[in-house]
């Protein structure tokens, strides 16, 4: 493309007969070709993973949330309103993101895979970062990308002899800083407070100070430093940088300035706040309830529920600021036009819907999370798509956009069709946890429990996931159940 520009624009140089016709034809051909294939070198990848982030963002239609940086990313790329994760828990969801495959339902899924690699290294397909690494990329992880921040096992999650993802990263980093070690960082509050006994740790907190008084502050500083080093050329190779942001993970702690806009804000009523009757994947919100709540229960105390929601919103704005910092640095280094950016939430989070405060269910609120993709030349930037897609699709999408060989072992599909034409229909999404599995279509959700009980919900109705239609719509139930078995069995 640079050569074409030089020939066509040289002062005082008349083009020979037929050159303009040939140039025009070539430009038309290149216009329909993958951006990666015509770039001087393969594009960089910046993958931003945000923990426990439900799609309660301004760009997703939630007016009271302040997320200017994520909104800007969505305005320049493609947001997916109906992206579903494979599992409503960190480790299993990230397993699928990082391998492109269905996997275990628990947080130890990636460590189980690491044990398989140790036993039979030739039998385990490479991870997404390993695939990029094998095709000439420098791969760097900062923060929480796999389940353990920094990607290691051991009592404090810092044992280098126990990698969570062998052979995947050139550098896999977690600056524990004041929080002593990755385990302390994972559940840290202000100024180095780590979780020893959850019952003695506040479920939410807001302390005056800079971003660095909470775990995400030094983590973002490390990510910025890594981006500087990668942007300077690292051997002339393109980079795959994964940046994992902790908040809004429990406990909900963020600098006071992020809470200020929400401090006295009245929030919309919680939809469907009642505990479900009959069979469901409802649970008692154990992860949330283990923290110090001063004896209060958001299921019974509306004022406390409101405060929890405000602090969650503050954490979302705090996470948004970290997104803004990395995108601003990307621009200042002149890397915007050579980098694919993906923002992904590892699952949703209930804020009182179905009387749940947490994740770990197969309801919509646990399984739906944000997905935003931006790359130079994306058609129709800023147009959101309603297509149903799933986390399984991220790996083949990135290899497609980067012009790498397709990973034939990955079980998802490239999202390029929806990135280019956002108004087309999507495909069914499949998720699971230990005792049940589910299929989500554009209109319905079916949940199949291991004991044979079924839930069917119609998302075209106001009742949504509060009215079980399985008994009254047996034909649709049977059809969706067959799809679920065909896919996951």
Q: Which of 249, 232, 42 is nearest to 143 (CA)?
A: 249
Q: CA 82, 85, 91 angle in degrees (round to 5)?
A: 155
Q: Is 59 a catalytic residue?
A: no
Q: Is 147 a catalytic residue?
A: yes
Q: 235 in the Ramachandran plot: left (φ > 0), alpha (ψ -120 to 50) or beta?
A: left
CA 226 remoteness from chain centre: 20
Burial label for 413, CB within 10 Å (0-12, 13-18, 19+), is middle
Element (H, E) at 322: helix 302-332
The CA-atom distances, in angstroms, between 111 and each of 266, 371, 372, 392, 421 are 43, 25, 28, 19, 38
Strands 339-345 and 385-390: unpaired
The residue assigned the tokens 């994992």 is 244
Residue 84, beta-bridge partner list: 368, 390
Catalytic pick among 49, 59, 82, 147: 147
Q: Residue 341 in contact with residue 328, Cβ under 8 Å?
A: no
Q: Return the number of other C-beta atoms located less than 10 Å from residue 155's C-beta.
A: 8
Residue 3: HSE in the Cβ half-sphere, 13 Å Cα cutoff: 5
122 CB-near residues (< 8 Å, 6+ apart)? none
Q: CA 240, 75, 384 angle in degrees (round to 5)?
A: 95
The CA-atom distances, in angstroms, between 24 and each of 15, 27, 35, 84, 363 are 13, 5, 18, 42, 52
Phi, psi (degrees; rounded to nearest 5) at 204:
-145, 160
Element (H, E) at 446: strand 444-449
Tokens of 181: 């070690």
Q: Residue 51 in contact with residue 144, Cβ under 8 Å?
A: yes
Report helix, strand or coil for 128.
Answer: helix
Q: Which of 86, 33, 66 is nearest to 440 (CA)?
A: 86
Catalytic pick among 49, 59, 82, 90: 90
Q: 328 in the Ramachandran plot: left (φ > 0), alpha (ψ -120 to 50) or beta?
A: alpha
Burial label for 43, CB within 10 Å (0-12, 13-18, 19+), is buried
332 CB-near residues (< 8 Å, 6+ apart)? none
Which residues have a catalytic role annotated? 90, 147
């Amino acid at each position: 493309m640079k050569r074409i520009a030089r020939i066509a624009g040289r002062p005082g140089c008349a083009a020979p007969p037929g050159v303009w016709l040939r140039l025009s034809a070539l430009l038309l051909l290149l216009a329909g070709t993958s951006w990666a294939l015509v770039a001087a070198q393969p594009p960089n990848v910046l993958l931003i993973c945000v923990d426990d982030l439900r799609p309660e963002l301004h760009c997703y239609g939630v007016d009271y949330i302040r997320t200017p940086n994520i909104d800007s990313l969505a305005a320049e790329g493609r947001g997916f309103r109906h992206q579903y994760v494979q599992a409503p828990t960190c480790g299993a969801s990230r397993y699928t993101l990082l391998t492109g495959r269905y996997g275990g339902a628990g947080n130890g899924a990636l460590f189980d895979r690491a044990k398989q690699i140790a036993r039979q290294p030739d039998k385990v397909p490479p991870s997404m970062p390993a695939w990029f690494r094998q095709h000439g990329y420098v791969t760097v992880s900062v923060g929480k990308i796999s389940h353990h921040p920094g990607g290691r096992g051991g009592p404090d999650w810092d044992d280098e002899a126990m990698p969570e993802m062998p052979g995947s990263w050139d550098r896999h980093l977690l600056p524990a800083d004041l929080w002593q070690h990755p385990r302390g960082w994972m559940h840290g509050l202000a100024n180095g407070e780590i979780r020893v006994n959850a019952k003695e740790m506040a479920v939410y907190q807001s302390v005056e100070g800079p971003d660095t008084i909470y775990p995400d502050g030094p983590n973002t500083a490390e990510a910025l430093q890594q981006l500087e080093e990668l942007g300077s050329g690292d051997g002339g190779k393109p980079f795959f940088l994964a940046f994992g942001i902790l908040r809004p993970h429990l406990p909900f702690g963020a600098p006071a300035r992020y809470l200020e806009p929400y401090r006295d804000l009245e929030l919309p009523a919680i939809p469907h706040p009642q505990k479900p009757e009959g069979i469901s994947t409802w649970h008692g919100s154990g992860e949330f309830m283990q923290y110090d709540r001063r004896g209060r229960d958001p299921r019974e105390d509306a004022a406390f529920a409101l405060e929890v929601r405000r602090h969650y919103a503050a954490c979302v704005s705090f996470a948004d600021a970290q997104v803004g910092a990395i995108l601003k640095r990307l621009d200042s280094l002149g890397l915007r036009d050579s980098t694919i950016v993906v923002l992904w939430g590892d699952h949703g989070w209930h804020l009182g819907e179905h009387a749940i405060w947490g994740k770990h269910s197969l309801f919509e609120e646990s399984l739906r999370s944000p997905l935003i993709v931006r790359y130079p030349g994306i058609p129709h930037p800023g147009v959101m798509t309603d297509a149903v897609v799933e986390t399984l699709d991220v790996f083949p999408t990135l290899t497609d956009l980067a012009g790498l060989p397709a990973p034939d072992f990955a079980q998802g599909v490239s999202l390029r069709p929806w990135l280019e034409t956002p108004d087309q229909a999507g495909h069914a999404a499949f998720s699971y946890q230990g005792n049940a599995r589910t299929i989500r279509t554009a209109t319905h959700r079916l949940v199949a429990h291991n004991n044979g009980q079924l839930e069917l919900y119609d998302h075209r109705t106001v009742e949504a996931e509060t009215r079980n239609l399985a008994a009254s719509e047996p034909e649709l139930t049977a059809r969706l159940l067959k799809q679920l078995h065909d896919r996951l069995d």
